[in-house]
Chains A and B, each alone.
Chain A
């Protein structure tokens, strides 16, 4: 219940100043501990440890809408979703509302080709801070904050997940069953990620590799469609 109220609230606040929903859209709603994620606000891990999240940003690309197993729509663009930028939480898809869809999929991150093809603009512009400078490649998922468990400077933790070279290809497919609605709400419950990523005092993963792939799988599991039963 708390959840659906919160979603409703997010929808309202997020919609302000946005163009009328044409066609369809995906709306990402970041959550933590069953409430909307507020950057820089104090919160607690499941075991009661105080923490804050200062940044949550990730790439969503290769969005597909499926209708009974057939691809009804494919969008090859890459979108940067930033919990601190309400506008970025809504991704408009240029397809008519009349198109049916019973499931969607997207790539959490950037595919290999876009990782090796030089400079791009828009959401892929390296000024967005989602590109590694010392070892080429996009950062697919960035979660930063503080947690008293971390013995780092200012108790900071940083998870920058990316990498396109095998065997550590990082971007993950996410597939979700959806209700056939104009705006599809996708919850991003970072508590799941957060609690496990920080296990064992791991406070920083910032380069491609085994850890980054493991955490990317975890990150891909935090997306879900809120069930109607709760409303």
Chain B
């Protein structure tokens, strides 16, 4: 009898302890010299439990209709969260999308998402792949119902948000929390900037060329302005993708795509929104010889045709200093083990 009472008390105490435990706040650290992030953390404060939940969701194929495809199917941590070697992404039942899956990093600084900026906030981004028939092919409210019916998730949501309610808002915010932690700021370039390492001569030459020809759009330290531009790609005849114009309806936005970051560009091949270029060499050749004239072509590119073959080699050497292996192999980013 006494034992029973004790167990009951112990259980009560444990229960109270479990329910009272507050999620542990995580500070978002801005790398030295970087601008303020655009993401409003006040609406979604980072916590250990929230990040862990987001990470679990990111790797869980429960988000897709066939329970095979997860976010990580197209965004692999080892390659800076891109789908290496796929020109356009592959989704459920091997369906093929129309765009190349971008590398995911430094999303807290993003002001719009997707190649055409169709998504205006990181929280809302996940709705697109989840409901896209060629990606995960699911209905969002059905995903939430599936999560509610699992054994694991109600407890994980309680840890992250204080009670077991699984809502669309919480699910999206948890995913954001994990994605916000994907910060790549420890490449050789960063170490050189911090004075801890030096560029080789070739890299230094490449860096100078980069500042002269590329930095207006691929602006350091994020290596993107987050703006849209037409960098002279011939319109693809298969997808006939007009980019930003589809979102804004403004003709001057025709063939404008979001300037991608060049951090970890070594891994994000094939390149461009439709993955048309297999290598950095092809990209550089495009900027020098392949610009397709059009009324919306960026004026900044008017003198890139002066880059010699050697210049291009030097530029590539510099671009490779943007690879961040610590980022790709960060144990906090991989499949959650538990």
Total A-B contacts with CB atoms under 8 angstroms apart: 75
Is A129 a contact of B141 with CB atoms below 8 Å? yes
A85 to chain B: closest CB distance in Å?
15
Is B132 a contact of A118 with CB atoms below 8 Å? no
**Which residues from chain B contact A131 at a C-beta distance below 8 Å?**
124, 127
Given A126-B172, A209-B249, A118:B124 Cβ within 8 A: yes
**Which residues from chain A contact B200 at a C-beta distance below 8 Å?**
none
- Taking CB atoms and an 8 Å cut-off, the chain B residues in 102-142 that contact chain A are 118-124, 127-128, 130-132, 140-141
Question: What band does the interface of chain B fall in when counting residues whose beta carbon is under 8 Å from A?
Answer: 20 to 34
Is A118 a contact of B131 with CB atoms below 8 Å? no
Fill in one digit per residue for B233-254: 1 if any A CB lies within 8 Å of its CB, else 0: 0000000000000011100000
Q: Chain B interface: which of A38-46, A103-111, A133-141? A: A133-141
Is B249 a contact of A118 with CB atoms below 8 Å? no
**Which residues from chain A contact B43 at a C-beta distance below 8 Å?**
117-118
Residue B144 CB within 8 A of the other chain: yes
**Which residues from chain B contact A126 at a C-beta distance below 8 Å?**
124, 127, 140, 168-169, 172
Is B248 a contact of A165 with CB atoms below 8 Å? yes
Residue A168 CB within 8 A of the other chain: yes
A129 to B140, CA, bound (A): 8
**Which residues from chain B contact A116 at a C-beta distance below 8 Å?**
120-121
Is A135 a contact of B169 with CB atoms below 8 Å? no
- Taking CB atoms and an 8 Å cut-off, the chain A residues in 12-39 that contact chain B are none
**Which residues from chain A contact B128 at a C-beta distance below 8 Å?**
133-134
Is B121 a contact of A117 with CB atoms below 8 Å? yes
Question: Quick one: closest A residue to B112, CB to CB?
Answer: A136
A131 to B131, CA, bound (A): 12
Residue A115 CB within 8 A of the other chain: yes
Residue A119 CB within 8 A of the other chain: yes
Is B141 a contact of A136 with CB atoms below 8 Å? no
Query: Which of B144, B167, B172, B249 has a CB less than 8 Å from the CB of A168?
Result: B249
Question: Quick one: closest A residue to B120, CB to CB?
Answer: A136
Residue A94 CB within 8 A of the other chain: no
**Which residues from chain A contact B44 at a C-beta distance below 8 Å?**
118-119
B42 to chain A: closest CB distance in Å?
11
**Which residues from chain B contact A209 at a C-beta distance below 8 Å?**
249
Fill in one digit per residue for A91-133: 1 if any B CB lies within 8 Å of its CB, else 0: 0000000000000000000000001111111001111110101
Is B167 a contact of A121 with CB atoms below 8 Å? yes
A135 to B176, CA, bound (A): 18
**Which residues from chain B contact A208 at a C-beta distance below 8 Å?**
249
Is A125 a contact of B167 with CB atoms below 8 Å? yes
**Which residues from chain B contact A124 at a C-beta distance below 8 Å?**
169
Query: Which of A115, A133, A165 has a CB less than 8 Å from the CB of B140?
Result: A133
- Ordered by A's residue number, 23 sampled pairs between the chains whose C-beta atoms are within 8 Å are A117-B43, A118-B123, A118-B173, A118-B176, A119-B169, A119-B172, A121-B167, A121-B169, A121-B170, A124-B169, A125-B168, A126-B127, A126-B169, A128-B141, A133-B127, A133-B128, A133-B130, A135-B119, A135-B247, A165-B248, A168-B249, A208-B249, A209-B249
Chain B residues with CB under 8 Å of chain A are: 40, 43-44, 118-124, 127-128, 130-132, 140-141, 144, 167-170, 172-173, 176, 247-249
Chain A residues with CB under 8 Å of chain B are: 115-121, 124-129, 131, 133-137, 165, 168, 208-209
